[in-house]
Amino acid sequence: MSNRLGLIMRGLAAALLVLASASLAAAEDRRLPVPAVSIRAGELIREDMITERAFAANLLGVAMFIEGRQVLVGRMARRTLLPGQPIPTNAVEDPWTVARGAMVKVVVEDSGLSIVTYGSALQSGAAGALIPVRNTDTGVVIRGIVQPDGTVKVMDGS
């Protein structure tokens, strides 16, 4: 009988080990924000478009996904985001202040002198981004920094 008792004890210990490892794995799940609906490229992300879902901690590349809702709301999707899928960090960006092809006011300031002209943005950009702009009068491409009001400021030496 002692042999039988030993088998029962080993079986019980194995069952407890399996249960403990299963509960440990469940505790290690990470909750990530995911789209509740399809979000198209260029669309601004609203609070009601995001929900959360648990993912296994051993999910490959889990560090490359956005971990908080606050990072998403008010930003723009760079590509289509599918419902229930984790969102890669490079799949969202700040909303554009200037869109590619848009006519923008270009301001050049140097030593108290200010010159204003207009150009066509050759690239989209958010405030603070350095973008190329084609001067509509001369055709020359200049680079400037997008301002919060949508103008592009050219620094001296550009």
Cβ atoms of 118 and 132 within 8 Å: the answer is no
The pLDDT, as a whole number, for residue 61 is: 63
Residue 1, pLDDT above cutoff 70? no
Residue 134, pLDDT above cutoff 70: yes
Residue 10's pLDDT is what? 63
Q: How many helices (H) and strands (E) does the chain have?
A: 2, 9
Which pLDDT does position 4 carry in this prediction? 66
pLDDT confidence bin for 145, thresholds 50/70/90 = very high
Where exactly does CATH 2.30.30.760 map onto the chain?
Answer: 103-154
pLDDT for the residue 19: 54
Does pTM top 0.85 for this prediction? Answer: no
The rounded distance, in Å, linking the Cα atoms of 137 and 115 is 14
Q: Does domain 103-154 have CATH number 2.30.30.760?
A: yes
The CATH-assigned architecture of domain 28-93 is Alpha-Beta Complex (3.90)
**What pLDDT, on the 0 to 100 scale, is given for residue 158?**
47
pLDDT band at 75 (very low <50, low <70, confident <90, very high): very high
* pLDDT, position 80: 96
Residues of the chain with CATH 3.90.1210.10: 28-93
DSSP-derived letter for residue 41 is: T
DSSP for 44-91, please give it: BP-GGGEEEEEE-TT-TTGGGB---HHHHTT-EESS-B-TTS--BGGG
DSSP state of 39: B
Identify the residue whose tokens are 């998403």: 72
From the list 90, 113, 105, the residue with the least C-alpha distance to 136 is 105
Please give the share of the chain, as a percent, with pLDDT higher than 90.
61
